[in-house]
């Protein structure tokens, strides 16, 4: 439902970010330079994703990454592409990836490397072989000015509220980038003919009447009792008709929630007692976008953006959705 009409200007993401930054006194254009590294990388990644079946890139590489999961070749390509596009921008000091146990510290950027970029290069990669939409998720922090670069952790383990910008690219029926720098959520669609992300929706707000819940009900017997009670209520006559939508790809499930409302849940389970999703490069960027779109993102007890990370691959439960629905889930959870 792009609200683009013939008399509207064609705005690329670079233009939008520069215009947005001009509203901030002292903006240096550094963020737009950094983001152009991400847009370049995701244009390359989307090309490889769409060719995957043809390039015999499908299938696992047979090696395991730090997550202990089978690494799909596209994961490796996406990770290396982001590292190569971001690592030479001059203003990136360190990069943290779901694929790497340790952060990559960019050498010889000196004091210039003021930004910390965290990303899940290809989230939901187990869906690649069955052609389910997958995504790249990114989060941008500033290095803490008063702490020496030699110790990376204090610059990385910052609460989500410190994010400068965050977003994702969804490689779906079209390639869309959803992005915020704290001034609203904006959606850009890639026009492959010209290789540019073009603004298609601005200042997106989550609809308030979402009647959809998105959860892997196969684990429901080991969910916290309050979550089970919410799911029982949502199926009841009194609730008035909900539907379940679950793709199993976080970016796809969140993108639907952003545009249609409702709630996405990944509660603690017996298998993942602290939830499955990663705080730094999955829950935090998603939570920043959700709040900028008028929604709520919580771990069941506290606001995701206020959680103090203790390790870079730390997991968290996640409830994210339109305000009323997320509050309803939390009211059951708290019981």
Q: Which residues bind ligand P6P (CB under 6 A)?
A: 123-124, 126, 216, 248-250, 253, 276
Nearer to ligand P6P, 205 or 216 (CB): 216
- Within 8 A by CB and 6+ apart from 160, the residues are 139, 279, 283, 284, 285, 287, 288, 304, 305, 306, 307
**C-beta of 314: minimal distance to ligand P6P in Å?**
14
User: How far is the C-alpha of 60 from the C-alpha of 9, rounded, in Å?
Assistant: 43
DSSP code of residue 12: B
Q: In what order do the strands lie in the sheet with 263-266?
A: 243-244, 212-214, 263-266, 318-321, 296-298
The DSSP element (H or E) to which 312 belongs, if any, is: none
Nearer to ligand P6P, 76 or 152 (CB): 76
**C-beta of 149: minimal distance to ligand P6P in Å?**
31
User: How far is the C-alpha of 34 from the C-alpha of 89, rounded, in Å?
Assistant: 6
Nearer to ligand P6P, 113 or 267 (CB): 267
Greatest alpha-carbon pair distance for the chain in Å reads 63
CA dist 144 → 154, 155, 158, 328 (Å): 8, 6, 9, 37
In degrees, rounded to 5, the angle at the alpha carbon of residue 114 between the alpha carbons of residues 112 and 115 is: 130
**C-beta of 298: minimal distance to ligand P6P in Å?**
16
**C-beta of 124: minimal distance to ligand P6P in Å?**
4
Nearer to ligand P6P, 123 or 299 (CB): 123
Question: 178 phi and psi, to 5 degrees?
Answer: -115, 130
Nearer to ligand P6P, 31 or 231 (CB): 231
**C-beta of 8: minimal distance to ligand P6P in Å?**
33
Strand partners, 169: 136, 177
Nearer to ligand P6P, 93 or 160 (CB): 160
**C-beta of 136: minimal distance to ligand P6P in Å?**
12
Nearer to ligand P6P, 253 or 325 (CB): 253
Nearer to ligand P6P, 59 or 248 (CB): 248
**C-beta of 84: minimal distance to ligand P6P in Å?**
24
Token code pair at residue 281? 């490069």
The DSSP element (H or E) to which 52 belongs, if any, is: none
**C-beta of 125: minimal distance to ligand P6P in Å?**
7
Whether 16 and 200 have beta carbons less than 8 Å apart is answered as no
**C-beta of 18: minimal distance to ligand P6P in Å?**
32
Nearer to ligand P6P, 30 or 253 (CB): 253
- Within 8 A by CB and 6+ apart from 283, the residues are 160, 277, 297, 299, 304, 316, 318
């Amino acid at each position: 439902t792009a609200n683009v009409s013939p008399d509207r200007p064609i705005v690329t993401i670079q233009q939008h970010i520069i215009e947005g930054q001009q509203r901030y006194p002292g903006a240096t254009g550094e963020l737009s330079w950094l983001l152009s590294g991400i847009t370049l990388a995701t244009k390359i990644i989307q090309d490889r994703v769409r060719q995957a079946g043809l390039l015999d890139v499908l299938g696992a590489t047979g090696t395991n990454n730090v997550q202990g999961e089978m690494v799909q070749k596209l994961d490796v390509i996406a990770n290396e592409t982001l590292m190569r596009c971001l690592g030479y921008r001059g203003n990136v000091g360190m990069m943290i990836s779901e694929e790497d146990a340790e952060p990559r510290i960019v050498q010889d950027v000196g004091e210039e490397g003021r930004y910390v970029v965290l990303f899940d290069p290809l989230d939901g990669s187990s869906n690649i072989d069955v052609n389910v939409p997958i995504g790249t998720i990114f989060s941008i922090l500033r290095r803490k000015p008063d702490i020496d670069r030699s110790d990376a952790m204090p610059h990385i383990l910052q609460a989500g509220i410190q994010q400068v910008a965050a977003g994702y690219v969804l490689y779906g029926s079209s390639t869309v980038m959803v992005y915020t720098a704290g001034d609203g959520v904006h959606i850009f669609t890639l026009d492959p003919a010209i290789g540019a992300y073009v603004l298609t929706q601005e200042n997106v707000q989550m609809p308030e009447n979402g009647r959809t819940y998105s959860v892997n009900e196969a684990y429901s017997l080991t969910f916290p009792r309050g979550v089970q009670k919410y799911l029982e209520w949502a199926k009841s006559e009194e609730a008035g008709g909900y539907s379940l939508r679950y793709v199993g790809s976080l970016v796809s499930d969140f993108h639907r929630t952003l545009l249609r409302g409702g709630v996405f849940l990944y509660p603690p389970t017996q298998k993942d007692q602290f939830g499955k999703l990663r705080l730094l490069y999955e829950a935090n960027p998603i939570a920043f976008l959700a709040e900028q779109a008028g929604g709520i993102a919580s771990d069941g007890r506290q606001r995701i953006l206020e959680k103090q990370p203790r390790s870079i691959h730390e997991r968290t439960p996640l409830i994210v959705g339109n305000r009323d629905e997320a509050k309803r889930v939390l009211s059951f959870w708290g019981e």
